[in-house]
């Protein structure tokens, strides 16, 4: 019984929701529906069989079915009030029926029926009107190819299979007739048929729409991505409507905190509703309605309207936040929606994990040296890769390790060769970390590129900027392409904002009347010739004798490469999610003594350097698979620092 129920929950969630609704109207608000779906998702097999959608085609394929969506919240729109149900009257029989309107945008009625708009009914007025949150979600920006590939292989495969299996049958039933589904398999087939049919329809519609829009729509402006999307990228943004229980009460204040914030990575589970193309034939009627609207003139002028054919709608039933440090390895069961971290590993488990990756460090060093033959750089680069902000303690962010690479050198030839370094770094990162992006900080880009996310009150949305990235995105600032020229004030503000992220991991969104500060964690690596435009936590000068090669000195065959990459990815993933332990008192005393004596030797030593040492030694220990700082590591950190500073 439950199996059948499960299948229909997956293939036709509307039917299941409707069943709940028919049992009791209270079920809409008491969380029973969400509970049902969560229980369903707790089964890992079921969970991973739910298709992930990311493009228009996916939407069309899976209309009305339970689907998953992984995305980043770009903007939070105003909450909407909506009707939970509609009262519909049959004009012939004068019968009155109610239809569920939650998780839907449109409600259809049959022939001879009409909506009763003053749906007033004293028995359940409480449920008439509810509010839902509307989020504008974009595909996770700067995601590297290997992450999405992995997703493809794990989830969408079974859909492919299903698709082949499905025979094409005649369509004898109308799509809206939900109640006739006695045989679930059958209904699935029908759904599929209908879908196929609809896809064709939609494609036509899309063409029509495009024609209507004239030539080209400014996709970039419409989609509003922080960084321009690849032309081949089929992924689209979604408008996600989130219903209840997304807020947690906040102690000491009557305003609950919403867990769904801008720049969070979320996986939504829900339904893509049937696509209803805008009816262009009803222009005449529109004009008649103008009269009705006169009273509300210019009222919704600033409301965002998106063509649904380009930005699909998504109704969320439940969701979970994604841990930004978990690199694409998402095969965790859908356990709890609110926990951002994975289940805390026990000490021994963690130790085992750390032991398993110790040997990979050398492979990573070799891999880097393969491209840039500078061991000192390789060390700091590893620290950079595995760094993350692990704590915001009393206003200071701890763990940030932004890195400046100085490629200045006297040898002209070398200088030219070194200019490739940003691209090499990009290449290395592409295969190791889950999100990375190279930003060419030349005059034009700085002047014209949106760097700071800004609120546009005319369109009532946040115009995204380079710095609206998810946490744990590695951002390469490439200053090697800069030439002489004039920087506009916008560029200076942008640079200041990047600097702020680099040093404090804070970004202020420009809300025109006042800025609003957000905490972030974008790992910044800045490659500069000489003094950088963006201050960084640490600075490494490339050894002038080092050699670089954009293609790597030794070529390894693809298969080997692939398994190497997998190992490196695992290395970064585990280290970023390791909980660091405090050292014992002996080490702590040693560190403190060291600081005191260094200060005595050189009174100009500021407390910042101590912050720096602590961060560095932590990263160094981590990179060796240790979750504690030992005296030996502290000393080797100091030695490494000496060799670094001697080069500067």
Partner 1 sequence: MDRLQLFSTLRSRKEKEEREEGDSDNESNNNNNNNRIDKSQATKKKEKKGKEKEKEKEKETPKERQKDVNESFGDDDNENGPIDKDLMTAAVSEIREEKKVVEQFWGTNILVEDVKKRFIHFIENFQTTSDKRRPLINDDNGNDNMDQEEDGDQQQQQQKKRNLYMEHLQVIFNQRKSYLNVNLRHVFDFDRALYHQWIRYPTEMIPLLDYEINIYFEKLYPPESELDIRPIIEIRPFNLKTITPMRNLNPSDIDQIISIRGLIIRCSSVIPDLKMAFFQCAICEFSVEVEIKKGKITEPSQCDNCKARLSMALIHNRCAFSDKQYIKLQETPDAIPEGETPHTVALFAYDNLIDFAKPGDRVEITGVFKASPMRAGRTTRTLRSIYKTYIDTLHIKRTEKGRLGASDSSAEQEQQYEQQATEEGEVGEEEQDILEISKEHERELIELSKRPDIYDLITKSLAPSIWEMDDVKKGILCQLFGGANKKFSESSGGGRFRGDINILMCGDPGTSKSQLLSFVHKIAPRGIYTSGKGSSAVGLTAYVTRDPDTRETVLESGALVLSDMGICCIDEFDKMSDETRSILHEVMEQQTVSVAKAGIICTLNARTSILASANPKESRYNPKMSVVENIKLPPTLLSRFDLIYLILDKANERTDRLLAKHLVSLYWEKPDVPFATLPKHTLTNYISYARKHVNPEISDDSVSRLVNGYLRMRNLGGGGKRTISATPRQLESLIRISEAHARIRFSKVVEPLDVEEAIRLVNVALQQAAIDPTTGTIDMDLITTGKSASHRDAVKRMESLISEVISSSDTGISFENIMNELNKKQQIQQQQSDVVREALRQMEVDVEFSNGLYKFKS
Does residue 62 belong to the site contacting partner 1 (CB under 8 A)?
A: no
Does residue 118 belong to the site contacting partner 1 (CB under 8 A)?
A: yes
In this chain, which of 15, 18, 19, 82 binds partner 1, going by CB under 8 A?
82
Which residue stretch of 193-201, 276-284, 352-360, 416-424 sits at the interface with partner 1 (rule: CB under 8 A)?
276-284
Contact 536, 542 (CB under 8 A): no
* CB nearer partner 1, residue 450 or residue 561: 450
Tell me how crowded residue 144 is: count the other CB atoms within 10 A of its CB: 20
For 390-429, the three-class secondary structure string (H helix, E strand, C coil) is CEEECCEEECCCCEEEECCCCCHHHHHHHCCHHHHHHHHH
Q: d(Cα 388, Cα 620) in Å, to the nearest integer?
A: 13
* CB nearer partner 1, residue 161 or residue 296: 296
Q: Is 478 exposed, middle or buried (0-12, 13-18, 19+ CB in 10 A)?
A: buried
In this chain, which of 24, 80, 186, 342 binds partner 1, going by CB under 8 A?
80
Does residue 314 belong to the site contacting partner 1 (CB under 8 A)?
A: no
Residue 567 CB contacts under 8 Å (≥ 6 apart), including other chains: 360, 363
Does residue 258 belong to the site contacting partner 1 (CB under 8 A)?
A: yes
Q: d(Cα 107, Cα 99) in Å, to the nearest integer?
A: 8
First to last CA, the chain: 71
SS3 assignment, position 169: coil
Does residue 248 belong to the site contacting partner 1 (CB under 8 A)?
A: no
Q: In the complex, what is the shortest distance from the CB of residue 485 to partner 1, in angstroms, rounded to a whole number?
A: 23
In this chain, which of 30, 44, 126, 359 binds partner 1, going by CB under 8 A?
126
Contact pattern from residue 454 through residue 493 relative to partner 1, giving x for each residue in contact according to CB under 8 A and a dash for the rest: ---x--x-x-------------------------------
- Tokens, residue 209: 């729409």
- Tokens, residue 226: 């922080």
Does residue 101 belong to the site contacting partner 1 (CB under 8 A)?
A: yes
Does residue 129 belong to the site contacting partner 1 (CB under 8 A)?
A: yes
Nearest CA to 212 out of 309, 303, 323, 113 is that of: 309
Q: In the complex, what is the shortest distance from the CB of residue 308 to partner 1, in angstroms, rounded to a whole number?
A: 10
Site for partner 1 in 391-410 (CB under 8 A): 391, 393-396, 398
55 bridge partner residues: 235
* CB nearer partner 1, residue 427 or residue 506: 506
Residues touching partner 1: how many (CB under 8 A)?
96
Does residue 344 belong to the site contacting partner 1 (CB under 8 A)?
A: no
SS3 assignment, position 398: strand
Q: Is 244 exposed, middle or buried (0-12, 13-18, 19+ CB in 10 A)?
A: middle
Does residue 91 belong to the site contacting partner 1 (CB under 8 A)?
A: no
Site for partner 1 in 556-615 (CB under 8 A): 579-583, 588, 591-592, 595-596, 599-600, 603-608, 610-611, 614-615
In this chain, which of 511, 545, 635, 642 binds partner 1, going by CB under 8 A?
511
Does residue 340 belong to the site contacting partner 1 (CB under 8 A)?
A: no
* CB nearer partner 1, residue 546 or residue 629: 629
Residue found by looking up tokens 């190791």 in the block: 432
In this chain, which of 298, 346, 554, 563 binds partner 1, going by CB under 8 A?
298
Does residue 514 belong to the site contacting partner 1 (CB under 8 A)?
A: yes
Residue 200 CB contacts under 8 Å (≥ 6 apart), including other chains: none
Residue found by looking up tokens 């700071």 in the block: 452
């Amino acid at each position: 019984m439950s199996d059948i129920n499960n299948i229909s929950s997956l293939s036709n969630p509307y039917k299941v929701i409707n069943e709940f609704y028919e049992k009791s109207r209270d079920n809409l608000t008491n969380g029973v529906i969400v509970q049902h779906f969560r229980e369903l998702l707790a089964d890992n097999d079921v969970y991973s069989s739910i298709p992930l959608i990311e493009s228009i085609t996916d939407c069309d394929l899976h209309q009305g079915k339970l689907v998953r969506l992984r995305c980043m919240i770009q903007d939070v729109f105003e909450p909407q009030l909506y009707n939970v149900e509609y009262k519909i009257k049959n004009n012939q029989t004068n019968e009155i029926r109610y239809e569920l309107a939650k998780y839907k945008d449109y409600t259809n009625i049959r022939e001879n029926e009409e909506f009763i708009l003053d749906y007033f009914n004293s028995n359940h007025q409480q449920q008439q009107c509810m509010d839902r949150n509307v989020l504008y979600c974009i595909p996770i920006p700067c995601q590297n190819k290997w992450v999405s590939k992995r997703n493809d292989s794990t989830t969408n495969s079974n859909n492919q299979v299903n698709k082949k299996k499905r025979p094409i049958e005649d369509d004898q039933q109308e799509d809206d007739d939900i109640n006739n589904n006695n045989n679930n398999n059958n209904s699935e087939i029908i759904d599929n048929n209908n879908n196929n049919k609809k896809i064709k329809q939609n494609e036509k519609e899309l063409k029509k729409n495009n024609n209507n829009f004239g030539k080209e729509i400014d996709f970039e402006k419409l989609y509003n991505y922080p960084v321009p999307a690849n032309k081949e990228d089929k992924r689209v943004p979604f408008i996600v409507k989130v219903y209840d229980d997304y807020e947690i009460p906040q102690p000491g204040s009557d305003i609950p905190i919403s867990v769904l914030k801008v720049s969070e990575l979320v996986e939504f589970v829900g339904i893509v509703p049937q696509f209803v193309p805008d009816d262009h034939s009803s222009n005449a009627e529109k004009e008649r309605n103008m009269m009705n609207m006169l009273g509300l003139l210019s009222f919704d002028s600033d409301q965002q309207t998106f063509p649904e054919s380009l930005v699909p709608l998504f109704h969320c039933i439940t969701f979970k936040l994604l841990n930004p440090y978990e690199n694409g390895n998402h095969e965790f069961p859908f356990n709890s929606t609110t926990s951002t971290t994975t289940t805390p590993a026990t000490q021994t488990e963690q130790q085992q994990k750390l032991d398993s990756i110790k040997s990979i460090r050398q492979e990573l060093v070799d891999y880097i040296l393969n491209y840039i033959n500078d061991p000192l750089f390789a060390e700091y680069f590893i620290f950079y890769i595995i760094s993350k902000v692990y704590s915001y303690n009393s206003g200071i962010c701890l763990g940030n390790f932004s890195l400046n690479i100085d490629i200045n050198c006297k040898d002209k030839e070398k200088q030219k060769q070194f200019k490739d370094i940003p691209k090499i770094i990009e290449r290395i990162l592409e295969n190791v970390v889950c999100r990375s992006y190279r930003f060419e900080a030349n005059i034009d880009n700085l002047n014209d590129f949106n760097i700071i996310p800004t609120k546009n009150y005319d369109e009532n949305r946040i115009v995204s900027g380079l710095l609206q990235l998810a946490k744990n995105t590695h951002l390469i600032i490439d200053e090697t392409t800069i030439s002489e020229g004039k920087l506009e004030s916008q560029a200076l503000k942008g640079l200041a904002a990047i600097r702020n992220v680099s040093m404090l991991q804070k970004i202020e969104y420009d809300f025109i009347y006042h800025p609003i500060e957000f905490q972030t964690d974008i790992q910044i690596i800045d490659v500069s010739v000489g003094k950088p435009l963006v201050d960084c936590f640490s600075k490494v000068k490339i050894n002038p004798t080092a050699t670089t090669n954009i293609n790597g000195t030794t070529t390894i065959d693809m298969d080997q490469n692939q398994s190497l990459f997998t190992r490196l990815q695992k290395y970064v993933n585990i280290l970023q999610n390791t909980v660091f332990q405090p050292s014992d008192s002996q080490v702590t005393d040693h560190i403190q003594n060291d600081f005191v004596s260094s200060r005595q030797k050189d009174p100009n030593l500021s407390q910042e350097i101590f912050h720096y040492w602590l961060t560095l030694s932590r990263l160094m220990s981590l990179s060796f698979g240790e979750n504690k700082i030992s005296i030996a590591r502290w000393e080797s950190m100091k030695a490494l620092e000496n060799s670094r500073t001697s080069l500067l």
